[in-house]
Amino acid sequence: MVFLWIGLVLFFGPHLFSAFRDRSPEKDIRTRLGYGPYMGLYSIVSLTGLVLIFIGYGAMRPAPVVYPVPAWGQTLNLILMLPALILITVSQFPAGHMKRRLKHPMLVAIKMWAMGHLLANGELNSVILFGAFLVYAVIDRIAVKRRGDNGPLDAVPDIKWDILCVFVGFAAYAAFIMFLHQLLFGVPVYAQASASIDASLAAWFSAISASTTLPSSSPVTILSSL
């Protein structure tokens, strides 16, 4: 657990500092250090934190269960991951209509990704990790709103970037489902996805059957017993 917490501090520390730092020209540390040195230090600390997060998260397995997840949690997580990956792609490309309307698509994607994983995983290491990302995304969104950062409002949106981002997002989603998630995190999503969808469908059909069960005295029930 120690490695996970240290990793989270090292990863989110630079991100939160950047979110709340003084951006006036005479006080902005990025201006004073220079863009290159600032981003180099920022990247080194963040990447070190990310590595420790991977190590700490894995070291906590198997982790105690904090809360039972709903039967539909994994299915909803799978559904949320597609738009989340598309929006992550949107954040890295020039402005299309989605980027202009959402203003900060990366933060929207992080919220969807974190919330989906919290619904699908109730273990302590997952609650700490995905809960931290969700809290960060909320805090950072408040920070960008307070400093008046409304995204690429002045950019002229081009629908070709929306189309490209959807295509790349779908490709990334398919890769994660089929093999990439297991390769990176050791969790076979494809097998879990099949089991989760089967369980959700079974629960759904069971609920429908229960709600449409005819009383034993109904004419249909009596006739079917003859």
pLDDT digit string (tens) for 139-174? Answer: 999 999 888 877 776 678 889 999 999 999 999 999
In a domain, 31, yes or no: yes
Verify that 51 and 92 share a domain, yes or no: no
- Give the per-residue pLDDT at 108: 95
pLDDT digit string (tens) for 12-60? Answer: 999 999 888 887 877 888 888 888 998 999 999 999 999 999 999 989 9
Nearest by Cα to 115 from 73, 144, 62: 73
Residue 148 region by backbone torsions, left for phi larger than 0, else alpha for psi between -120 and 50, else beta: left
Query: What distance in Å separates the CA atoms of residue 130 and residue 115, rounded to the nearest whole number?
Result: 7
Verify that 131 and 192 share a domain, yes or no: yes
In a domain, 220, yes or no: no
89/222: higher pLDDT: 89
Nearest by Cα to 19 from 141, 129, 110: 141
Q: Which domain holds residue 141?
A: 65-205
Verify that 79 and 148 share a domain, yes or no: yes
In a domain, 218, yes or no: no
In a domain, 217, yes or no: no
The overall pTM is greater than 0.85? no
